[in-house]
């Protein structure tokens, strides 16, 4: 792709783009960049909204990503080392404003979602885009990646009728996971989070109870007082120990958090040894082998798109800020989690 001249500028372009860059620990800048002309096999997207992922993006912001690993090998735009300066992010909605010579012009004018870092304009092959249905608002579509993660977590946990389920962490992904689990005929769904405002949201989304993490003992009133299935999606390594302690014998613990370079200490010297509790990592970039014979990422993504209108994930948005205010957006998420849940950047 090349920087375009004024004569080549697509509809809505201001000839100068903006991108968010992580330049040092705790420091984000919004930089100018040329608006590029798509190659023959590409389209150009002009961004409307992008969503900050509080979990993974705060790891980058806080310099808590291992230096020796790519951020995400499954997404071309993110397949680079986690070293400053870097662009990061994977939830963007916009409109296709230009198409290369080898791409059908019917793409122009379409609203699309892209797994792409925060930027006002970018060029990608059409197959990297997800078409946004006419009835889905941009505010919901931009949270597609978070809904997909929640769907993946629920599939990996495979909740069964009558089970007792615990969810540790009620950030955006945790709340969406709770909303999906509330649709199952469980006997009890209990969630845990430090923030009262998030616990209130959790109960509104269908949790039978929501408590502070230090109140996890005897969380269930039936059986042995423990869960059949627990999810750890708080991003806090200490919560994994609590999730294991809350899970009953032969139960499952699904670990959806990415801790980055943060270390965890687990108490596995007591009842865990004989408990036959199964720990399972869960990450959205691939479909678990238990489902891979019938499910692929395309089928799962089709389900996610259908769920966007039903779940209304935009109800979890607490702040909308101009992209120029990106430094403030990250400070809000980093320093005031009780106020900032989901922040969107506007372009």
Q: Which two tokens stand for residue 118?
A: 């925060």
Mean pLDDT of the chain, nearest integer: 92
Q: What percentage of residues in the chain have a pLDDT greater than 90? A: 82
Q: With a cut of 50, say whether residue 5 has pLDDT above it.
A: no
* Radius of gyration, CA atoms only, the chain: 21
**CA 64, 255, 173 angle in degrees (round to 5)?**
75
Give, in order, the Cα–Cα distances in Å from 72 to each of 69, 88, 116, 125.
9, 10, 11, 18
Q: With a cut of 60, say whether residue 17 has pLDDT above it.
A: yes
Arithmetic mean of pLDDT, 183-206 = 97
Spatial contact of 251 and 228, defined as CB atoms under 8 Å apart: yes
Model confidence at 16, pLDDT cuts 50, 70, 90, reads confident
All structural domains of the chain, each given as residue ranges with its CATH number in brackets, are 2-142+312-346 (3.90.180.10), 146-281 (3.40.50.720)
DSSP, collapsed to helix, strand or coil, labels residue 318 as: strand
Residue 96: how many CB atoms within 10 A of its CB? 25
Model confidence at 231, pLDDT cuts 50, 70, 90, reads very high
Q: Which two tokens stand for residue 68?
A: 């020796």
Arithmetic mean of pLDDT, 112-141 = 97
Model confidence at 10, pLDDT cuts 50, 70, 90, reads very low
pLDDT in tens, 251-275: 999 999 999 989 988 989 889 999 9
Handedness of CA 138, 31, 145, 129 (dihedral sign): positive
DSSP tag of 104: -
Q: How far apart are CA 64 and CA 283, in angstroms?
A: 18
Model confidence at 288, pLDDT cuts 50, 70, 90, reads confident
Model confidence at 290, pLDDT cuts 50, 70, 90, reads confident
Arithmetic mean of pLDDT, 223-239 = 93
Model confidence at 195, pLDDT cuts 50, 70, 90, reads very high
Q: Which two tokens stand for residue 152?
A: 């993946």
Model confidence at 7, pLDDT cuts 50, 70, 90, reads very low
Give the lowest-confidence range in 10-14, 15-19, 37-41, 289-293.
10-14
pLDDT in tens, 46-82: 999 999 999 999 999 999 998 776 666 566 656 567 7
pLDDT, position 289? 86
pLDDT, position 70? 66
Q: With a cut of 50, say whether residue 12 has pLDDT above it.
A: no
Q: Which two tokens stand for residue 2?
A: 């090349």
DSSP tag of 225: S
pLDDT, position 82? 76
pLDDT, position 115? 97
């Amino acid at each position: 792709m090349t920087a375009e001249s004024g004569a080549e500028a697509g509809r809505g372009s201001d000839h100068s783009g903006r991108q968010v860059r992580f330049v040092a620990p705790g420091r984000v800048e919004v930089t100018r960049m040329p608006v590029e002309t798509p190659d023959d096999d590409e389209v150009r997207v002009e961004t409307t909204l992008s969503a900050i992922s509080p979990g993974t993006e705060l790891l980058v912001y806080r310099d808590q990503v291992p230096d020796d690993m790519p951020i995400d090998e499954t997404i071309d735009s993110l397949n680079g080392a986690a070293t400053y300066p870097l662009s990061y992010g994977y939830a963007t909605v916009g409109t296709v404003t230009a198409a290369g010579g080898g791409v059908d012009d019917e793409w122009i004018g379409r609203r699309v979602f892209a797994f792409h870092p925060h930027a006002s304009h970018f060029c990608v092959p059409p197959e990297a885009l997800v078409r946004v249905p006419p009835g889905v608002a941009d505010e919901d579509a931009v949270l597609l990646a978070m809904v997909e993660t929640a769907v993946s977590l629920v599939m990996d946990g495979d909740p069964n009728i009558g089970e007792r389920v615990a969810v540790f962490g009620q950030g955006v992904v945790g709340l969406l996971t709770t909303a999906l689990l509330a649709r199952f005929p469980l006997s009890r769904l209990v969630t845990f989070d430090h923030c009262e405002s998030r616990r209130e949201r959790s109960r509104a989304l269908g949790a039978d109870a929501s408590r502070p993490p230090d109140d996890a003992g005897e969380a269930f009133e039936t059986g042995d007082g423990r869960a059949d299935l627990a999810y750890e999606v708080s991003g806090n390594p200490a919560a994994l120990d609590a999730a294991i302690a809350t899970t009953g014998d032969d139960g499952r613990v699904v670990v959806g958090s990415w801790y980055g370079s943060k270390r965890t200490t687990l108490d596995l010297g007591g009842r865990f040894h004989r408990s036959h509790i199964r720990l399972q990592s869960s990450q959205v970039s691939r479909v678990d082998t238990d489902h891979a014979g019938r499910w692929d990422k395309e089928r799962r993504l089709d389900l996610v798109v259908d769920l966007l209108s039903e779940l209304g994930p935009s109800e979890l948005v607490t702040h909308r800020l101009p992209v120029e205010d990106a430094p403030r957006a990250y400070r809000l998420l980093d320093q005031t989690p009780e106020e900032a849940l989901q922040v969107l950047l506007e372009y």
